[in-house]
């Protein structure tokens, strides 16, 4: 089934909210990816499907240079603003579809795709492009989410989406997807990577109260933002109310830790 998150429009739409909210939330995964890849000072790194630079900005003090590539210009504009604001000189943003990386063979020491390659319609091409552009011995980390059923944070997000849009099916755990660490490992091995290890990393979706949680989701979550965009303001007002009631009921509106488990796949060329 076509995944709307394989297109750039939803990412253009949420770029501001994503930068304010999700980028902070994903910092824990970015740091785990950089630790796993064992960055070296003279590394040339590529951040594939970089968004506003969640990995690139953390990597900047650790490596020599970073090519930060994404097909959403709105995300890249946010990265440009961060680079300017922080005075970073070794991140080079570039607009491209990452299923075709605009770089020569064996250019990079390390490649990270944090919650990016998982959306490519041709994921095998995504791995192949990482493999092609890595030097022999180059390291990669690619991430994906663990099944929704294992993360109370994602259960709340999907449950709320289903409360306002009953057409959305209940999330099923798919054996033949990157949710399954054995499948993930075998896909990376088939792409040619050696020493493949899949690590579990747990992040948190902040929850203080139902209103703030939902408002953040509407700004930063691409499927929710697209759903809002598809309807009139009056219809959205009703959905908004339903969403907040659902979240209040599920959480008793008390601050809590909402977990989001991810898989980080490490491999060597
Ligand atoms: C969930 S965000 C992840 C961004 C960043 N890596 C992070 O961890 O915060 C997914 C990103 O993948 C990008 N993306 C998805 N498919 C892409 C493709 N085929 N080529 C380039 N970028 C893509 C989107 O534009 C978006 O910025």
Q: Minimal CA–CA distance to 259: which of 118, 114, 149?
A: 149
Domain 4-148+172-206+260-268 -> CATH class: alpha beta
119 CA to middle of ligand 1, Å? 8
Rounded to the nearest 10 degrees, the angle between the axes of helix 73-86 and helix 9-17 is 30
Q: Express the helix, strand and coil content of the chain in percent, nearest 5 each.
A: 50, 25, 30
Q: What is the pLDDT of residue 46?
A: 98
Q: Minimal CA–CA distance to 64: which of 30, 91, 36?
A: 91
Q: What does the alpha-carbon distance between residue 74 and residue 94 come to, in Å, rounded to a whole number?
A: 12
Pocket of ligand 1 (CB under 6 A): 6, 8, 11, 23, 26, 49-51, 54-55, 70-72, 75, 97-99, 114-116, 119-120
- Counting every residue written for the chain, the total comes to 269
Q: What does the alpha-carbon distance between residue 223 and residue 239 come to, in Å, rounded to a whole number?
A: 14
- Counting from 1 in the atom list of ligand 1, the atom nearest the Cα of 47 is 6
pTM reported for the whole predicted model: 0.96
Q: What does the alpha-carbon distance between residue 124 and residue 99 come to, in Å, rounded to a whole number?
A: 9
234 CA to middle of ligand 1, Å? 31
3 CA to middle of ligand 1, Å? 13
105 CA to middle of ligand 1, Å? 22
Low-confidence ranges of the chain (pLDDT < 70): 1-2
Q: What is the pLDDT of residue 173?
A: 78
Q: What is the pLDDT of residue 138?
A: 98
201 vs 4, 29, 111, 150, 180, CA distance in Å?
Answer: 26, 7, 18, 12, 14
Q: Which residues pair with 97 in a beta bridge?
A: none
Q: What is the pLDDT of residue 2?
A: 63
Could you give the 3-state DSSP secondary structure of residue 190?
helix
Could you give the 3-state DSSP secondary structure of residue 268?
strand
Q: What is the pLDDT of residue 4?
A: 86
The residue nearest atom 10 of ligand 1, judged by CA position, is: 116
Q: What is the pLDDT of residue 130?
A: 98
């Amino acid at each position: 089934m076509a995944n709307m998150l394989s297109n750039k429009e939803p990412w253009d739409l949420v770029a501001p909210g994503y930068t304010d909210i999700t980028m902070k939330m994903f910092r824990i995964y970015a740091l785990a990816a950089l630790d796993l890849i064992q960055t070296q000072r003279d590394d040339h790194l590529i951040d594939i499907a970089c968004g506003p630079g969640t990995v690139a900005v953390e990597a900047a003090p650790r490596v020599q240079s970073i090519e930060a590539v994404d097909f959403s210009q709105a995300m890249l504009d946010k990265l440009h603003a961060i680079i300017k604001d922080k005075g970073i000189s070794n991140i080079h943003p570039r607009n491209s579809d990452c299923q075709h990386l605009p770089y020569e063979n064996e250019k990079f020491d390390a490649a990270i795709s944090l919650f990016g390659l998982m959306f490519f319609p041709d994921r095998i091409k995504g791995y192949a492009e990482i493999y092609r552009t890595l030097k022999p011995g180059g390291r990669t980390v690619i991430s994906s989410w663990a099944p929704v059923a294992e993360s109370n944070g994602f259960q709340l997000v999907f449950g709320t989406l289903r409360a306002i849009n009953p057409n959305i099916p209940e999330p099923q755990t798919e054996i033949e997807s990157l949710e399954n660490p054995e499948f993930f490992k075998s896909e990376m091995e088939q792409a040619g990577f050696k020493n493949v290890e899949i690590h579990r990393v747990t992040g948190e979706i902040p929850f203080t109260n139902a209103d703030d949680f939902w408002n953040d989701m509407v700004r930063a979550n691409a499927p929710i933002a697209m759903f809002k965009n598809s309807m009139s303001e009056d219809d959205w007002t009703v959905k908004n109310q339903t969403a907040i009631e659902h979240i209040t009921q599920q959480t008793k509106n008390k601050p809590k830790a909402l977990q989001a488990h991810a898989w980080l796949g490490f491999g060597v060329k």
